[in-house]
Amino acid sequence: MVSSKDQAEERIKKDLESNPAWSGLRAVKEKKIVYLPQNLFLSNPGAKFYESVEYMAKAVYPEVYGNVGE
């Protein structure tokens, strides 16, 4: 069981880097893994659909949509 956000992200990072199915992806190689916030994607994500789409757009295309948190 993972007890904190930082621990969860570290576990995911290690799993992605050690799994051949994921380790070849450019995002993993370049350490550009995007962690989605629980408040937007875990509990009832439909309630915050527009915020969720905006977050993903900014995370994937910051040069077009601005940085996450702006």
Q: Do 27 and 50 lie in a common domain?
A: no
Q: Do 38 and 28 lie in a common domain?
A: no
Q: What is residue 61's three-state secondary structure?
A: coil
Rounded CA gap, 25 and 10, in Å? 17
* More confident call, 69 vs 45: 69
Task: Report residue 54's pLDDT band, with 50, 70 and 90 as the boundaries.
Answer: very high
| Structural domain for 39, as ranges | 34-70
pLDDT score for 1? 58
Count of beta carbons in the 10 Å neighbourhood of residue 24 = 9
pLDDT score for 46? 80
Rounded CA gap, 45 and 33, in Å? 20
Task: Please count the residues of the chain.
Answer: 70
Q: Do 43 and 60 lie in a common domain?
A: yes
pLDDT per residue as tens digits for the range 14-53: 999 999 999 999 999 999 899 888 888 887 768 889 999 9
Contact 48, 37 (CB under 8 A): no
Take residue 2 and report the two structure tokens written for it: 């993972």
Q: Do 64 and 54 lie in a common domain?
A: yes
Q: Do 38 and 69 lie in a common domain?
A: yes
Q: Do 44 and 70 lie in a common domain?
A: yes
Q: Do 26 and 48 lie in a common domain?
A: no
